[in-house]
Every structure is written in C-alpha cells, then in structure tokens.
Amino acid sequence: MAVAEFTPSSSSIIKKTSLYSSQLSYVSTHQISYKRRFSLRPLQRTHYANICCSVTSNEVQAPVVTNDLKKKPECFGVFCLTYDLKAEEETSCWKKLINVSVSGAAGMIANHLLFKLAAGEVFGPDQPIALKLLGSERSIQALEGVAMELEDSLYPLLREVSIGIDPYEVFQDAEWALLIGAKPRGPGMERAGLLDINGQIFAEQGKALNAVASRNVKVIVVGNPCNTNALICLKNAPNIPAKNFHALTRLDENRAKCQLALKAGVFYDKVSNVTIWGNHSTTQVPDFLNAKINGLPVKEVIKDSKWLEEEFTEKVQKRGGALIQKWGRSSAASTAVSIVDAIRSLVTPTPEGYWFSTGVYTNGNPYGIAEDIVFSMPCRSKGDGDYELVKEVIFDDYLRSRIKKSEDELLAEKRCVAHLTGEGIAVCDLPGDTMLPGEM
C-alpha cells in the first residue's frame, strides 16, 4: 500500500511499491516511463477498510510486468492503493484477513473458483480474503487479466490480490493452498510419465509451503494424479502436519450422489454419507453400502444389486469422460464447485451422523488400509479446518475387494515416485492404465 507524491519531470523513473500483508512486507522495483517523476511512500495498512476505485491512469497505474518475471508477487491495481484507515467501523464485524494461495490460477477451474472465494461463498460473508495467484511465465498476462476481472467485480471482502510465478513468494503466509495447476496428460504419455512430470511440480510446491506458508496451512491438491501428488507434496513439507494435506475426491462424491438420486427418484439433498474410497482414478470405490437415501440404507431403497455394483460404479468412474464427449471440454465448473464443497466441509461443523469424502494421509486409519499413502476415506469435521475419520462404517466382501484394488494401485504409484518422496530409487510397476479422461 502506498501514497504517491508527484514532482514535475519528463524522464523515465523507477517506481517503488511496498505491499504490506498481514505479516510481511514486499518491495519490488520496475522501470516505468511516465510524464512525471513520483516516489511512493509506504503507509501502514489495515485489514478492514473500504475498497476504492482505481485512480486515473495519469496518476498511478497498475504494475507493469517486465521481463524479470522472478520478482516478488505484485499487488494489482486497486489492491495497491491505500485504503481509508478510518473506515473500520463499517467492517468491524469482519474477521481477520485470511490468505489463500491458488496455483494454476489462470486456468478454467480457477476461473470459476476465484470469484466464489472473493464473493464470500466459501469462507463466509464476513471473512475478508487475500488471493495470491500462482502461474507460469506463459500465463503471467492471463493472471493480470484474472486480477483485472476480480478488480472490476468490486467484491468488498476481497482486500488483496497478488500474482507471481515463484511459489516461494506466492505461498508466503498462506493459510489455505489450493493446488490446481498441473500438466495434462498428452497423447502417448504413460501414467508413469505423468506421475513423474507432475510429481516434480508438487515436490517443489511442497518445499515452498514448508519454507514460507503458515505452519497450519491446509492444502487441497486438485492437479492429477491428485492422491499421489498430495503424497509427494506432504513428503516435501515435513514441518507441516501430514494431516493437513487433502486430495480432491469431492467431485466423485457429488457425482455418486447424483446417480443415486436419479435411480431412487429423489432430489439429491436426500442422499447422504456417500463415501469415495481410494484413488481418484477408475479404481475409485463409490460406497453404496454405507450411503443413505432419506435416512435409510441405499440397499433398502434401491434393491437392484446388479445396478449398484456395476452400472452405478462405472457411471461414477467414467462421468468425466461422458461429459467431455458431450461438451468437448473437461468439468471445470463442477470441479470448482467441489473444491468449494470440500473447503466448506472443513470449516463448517459436520451434522451429527453425517460425513464427507476427502483424500487424506492413511497413517493411523481404523480400516486396515495400508499406511503412508493418500487415500479417500469418510471424514467429519468440527468446523475448525481439521477432521477425524469416521469409525462407524461397515464393510462387506465386495467393498473390501474393491478397496484393495485401489490400495494396490496407490502403493504402486508410491513406488513410482520414490525419487520424489525421499524414499530411494523409483520402480514403476503400475498394475494397469487407470487414467481418468481429465488427465488427457
């Protein structure tokens, strides 16, 4: 935040901008030509203040990106201006500002997600937020476009926006890290190759989180293969509790609820306790044994066991591919909604007797699932961002056998990325290609 003082000049000058976050100050320098010479004097900022519109272009302009893309993340446009420090009374009921970092922020999923975050749909209508957007050298201009749209949307809760390509800068003081960015699987690429390429990205991001993020940062990994990417990330962040890392399987849960609702002829709010077990791949196990419809076990409402074991399971596993065939693009919007649902489930107390699915670290799990992998399991939360595993679940031979297949796949993936988790030489013996369409 800064105030500009102007003196006449017609030469090129150096603009110094100081961006004060809640715990750390950043300073970055750019060469910019103006008709006047001005210096920027940093002022102490507050988390709570009215946001004001951009000033005219001949006074203070939004940061201009130079060829030096390794600079610290820049505040953007209106978010660089000094707020009215006397406006606290209007926002005195708001909470302390929360820092949310998003990778892949110029992509389609983020394009749907960021505006929900800024509007208060995720953390609540009284939670001011700072968005820190991570991209690549190729996407830096697109990131500016995203920041411009956020600026033009006039969200009162959105207090800061910064953009950058260095995770060590963008993850600074992050309390939530939503890791969406990942390389898609190209033609002819084996799943092992995708694991290695994306694994390197998440190893680096894990190291960055370990170095600069909040010690209690909550991390949701979306980029595929998300379970093993989450494992790589947490292994490279030893100073952050392993329990804080999640692999997104909420979209699979939402899809399963939809299919059960359609079959039972009810609206999907009547479907509850649907667990997705295992990997976010075609070995995932949508659990109809413990699920309920109108409070009754699914198998008492839907008596067609063949449909549940075959068609239902396959529809959930292949829903993304069916959508791509129909629409020609992946499920970016519903993925963004599922990220919102996943976060809400962690920051809102789970109603008694209910639970939700998320991919979490298996150490200490009560189900007999192999330890030291990230596996989707049923969880509940007290609303503090933490969770506990649900113990009152039942198993039958069908469910156990399906879970074992997904477990074997994740253990094989873990061996395939051993060089990225500090566990020796990688050995890739994947049991089969269980690629999801979204990885293409």
DSSP structure class, residue 57: T
Contact 161, 79 (CB under 8 A): yes
Tallying the residues shown for the chain, one arrives at: 440
CA–CA dist 260, 274 (Å, integer)? 10
Helices and strands in the chain, H and E counts: 12, 19
End-to-end CA distance of the chain: 42
Q: Can you read off the two tokens belonging to residue 396? A: 């039958």
Q: For 263-276, give one letter per residue: b (16+ CB within 10 A) or e.
A: bbeeebebbbbbbb
DSSP structure class, residue 278: B
Contact 102, 180 (CB under 8 A): yes
Select from 94, 86, 79, 89 the least CA-distant residue to 21: 79
CA–CA dist 390, 369 (Å, integer)? 14
Token pair 């679940």 is at which residue?
393
Select from 106, 104, 107 the least CA-distant residue to 332: 107
What is residue 117's three-state secondary structure?
helix
Residue 242 phi, psi dihedral angles, 5° rounding: -60, -25
Residue at 79: amino acid letter: F
Q: For 208-232, give one letter per residue: b (16+ CB within 10 A) or e.
A: bbbebbbeebbbbbbbbbbbbbbbb
Contact 202, 113 (CB under 8 A): no
CA–CA dist 378, 387 (Å, integer)? 10
Q: Can you read off the two tokens belonging to residue 357? A: 């699915």
Q: How many CA atoms lie within 13 A of 18 on its CB side?
A: 15
Instruction: Check 112, 246, 280, 419 and give the catalytic one.
Output: 280
For the question of residue 112 being annotated catalytic, the response is no
Strands (E), 270-328: 271-272, 275-277, 285-287, 292-293, 296-297
Residue at 44: amino acid letter: Q
- Rounded to 10 degrees, the C-alpha dihedral 275/100/181/226 comes to -20
Catalytic residues: 280
